[in-house]
Copies of this chain bind each other. A is one copy, B any other.
Amino acid sequence: MLGNFTYCNPTRLHFGEQALEQLAGELKHYGGRVLLAYGGGSIKKNGLYDKVTAILKACGKEVFEVPGVMPNPTVEKLYEGCRVARENNVDLILAVGGGSVCDYAKAVSVSAWCQEDPWDKYFLRMEDVSNPIIPVGCVLTMVGTGSEMNGGAVITHPAQKRKIGHVFGSNVMPRFSILDPTLTYTVPMEQMVAGIYDAFNHICEQYFSGEDDNTTDYIAEGLMRSLVASSRIALRQPENYEARSNIMWAATWALNTLLAMGKSTDWEVHMIGQSIGAYTNATHGMTLSAVSLAYYRYIMADGLAKFGRFAVNVWGIDPAGKSAEALAEAGLAAMERWMEELGVARNIRQLGVTEDMLEGIADGAFLMTGGYRTLTRNDVLNILKASM
């Protein structure tokens, strides 16, 4: 049954090959002081930095920069961005990069004017925002996290070995996002497939909850089928516009809150994956793929009907003559074959996890209650061992 909910997602998305042309129109709505956040410098090599700064200049903006936002943005980097935003009293934060940069921009947007330590308030204590929020816009260069159309931000505290995400409300969602699939062509193959699996797992985390026949789950199945079909084309032809644009669009809808409406949602794979990320700094999507199969096989019996539905509706498996268990396992086996095709990580050892980390990773993994089974810390340890 669809539970009660409120849905609101006001982000304005400009999608397509000429989407960057819409940036100037968006910038008109904000004051003259813009904080430009970006990553390791790939946008300087591929010319995007020059294009964006030319548009900012033509719009008469004064630009302040936070370069070097890392793949798993740290709390120290968050403090730096807050300082720059505050000292320059910026009117807009423009993220140019992948999900980490977008996440980072949103974290700065809620933290810059926070009177307390934002790590404590927003990530450890998960409080609501009670201070002014700086608007955020995104120019997306990498696909997967869905950060371009949601209120989420994940920040890592290396000293505390914690990587924590907070999903803020619609007032923290980007005011606008520029989605040009051709900007994702230069992403290395490993990042592309990690992003595809990240998006796929976002859908799984929401789909594998509840017992009934929600409209939301039918949408989820459509998105998964589209992702699988397009990923197979993109593996062979990374510059196939149709495939890359479908992947980009599916990834946005995979995590813009729609698929969670009326559902309890799981998110345990993300909790375990994030804890692995805190210990290894591994690519987010790979931390998810490395534990997914062990996790889903661990809980399969608790959500057998849904795993069977997954087999039939997502992977096209004929249920005739199969037991419920065999059907459910056939769906996961089909997912496993697809993950092999993608070449995503399927064990945590290859991400740099060693035996001595397992206890700590288990400690860092929140135990979620919305999926088919609420794990214990010992269950998490079992899953980690099965993922080694």
On A, residues with C-beta under 8 Å from B are 1-19, 22, 170, 212-216, 218-223, 225-226, 229-230, 241-242, 245-246, 249-250, 253, 261-262
Shortest CB distance A72–B (Å): 28
**Distance A4 CA – B22 CA, assembled complex (angstroms):** 11
- Asked if B2 and A7 sit within 8 Å, CB to CB, the answer is no
- Asked if B2 and A18 sit within 8 Å, CB to CB, the answer is no
Cβ contacts under 8 Å, A7 to chain B: 12-13, 15
**Distance A219 CA – B16 CA, assembled complex (angstroms):** 19
Known: A223-B215, A223-B219, A249-B215. A261 touches B2 (CB 8 A): no
Give which listed residue, B1, B22, B223, B249, contacts A241 with CB less than 8 A.
Answer: B1
9 A-B pairs with least C-beta separation = A4-B16, A222-B222, A218-B222, A10-B10, A218-B226, A8-B12, A215-B226, A215-B246, A2-B245
**Distance A221 CA – B9 CA, assembled complex (angstroms):** 23
Known: A219-B223, A222-B218. A242 touches B15 (CB 8 A): no
Cβ contacts under 8 Å, A220 to chain B: 222
- Asked if A242 and B3 sit within 8 Å, CB to CB, the answer is no
- Asked if B16 and A250 sit within 8 Å, CB to CB, the answer is no
- Asked if A1 and B242 sit within 8 Å, CB to CB, the answer is yes
> A6, A212, A221: which has the most chain B beta carbons within 10 Å?
A6
Shortest CB distance A90–B (Å): 24
Give A318's nearest chain B residue, CB to CB.
B318
- Asked if A18 and B4 sit within 8 Å, CB to CB, the answer is yes
Shortest CB distance A331–B (Å): 17
- Asked if B2 and A249 sit within 8 Å, CB to CB, the answer is yes
**Distance A222 CA – B218 CA, assembled complex (angstroms):** 5
List 24 A-B residue pairs with CB atoms under 8 Å apart, sorted by A's residue number.
A2-B15, A2-B249, A4-B16, A4-B19, A5-B15, A6-B14, A6-B15, A7-B12, A7-B13, A212-B242, A213-B229, A214-B226, A215-B223, A215-B226, A215-B230, A215-B246, A215-B249, A215-B253, A218-B223, A219-B223, A222-B222, A245-B262, A249-B261, A249-B262
**Distance A363 CA – B262 CA, assembled complex (angstroms):** 45
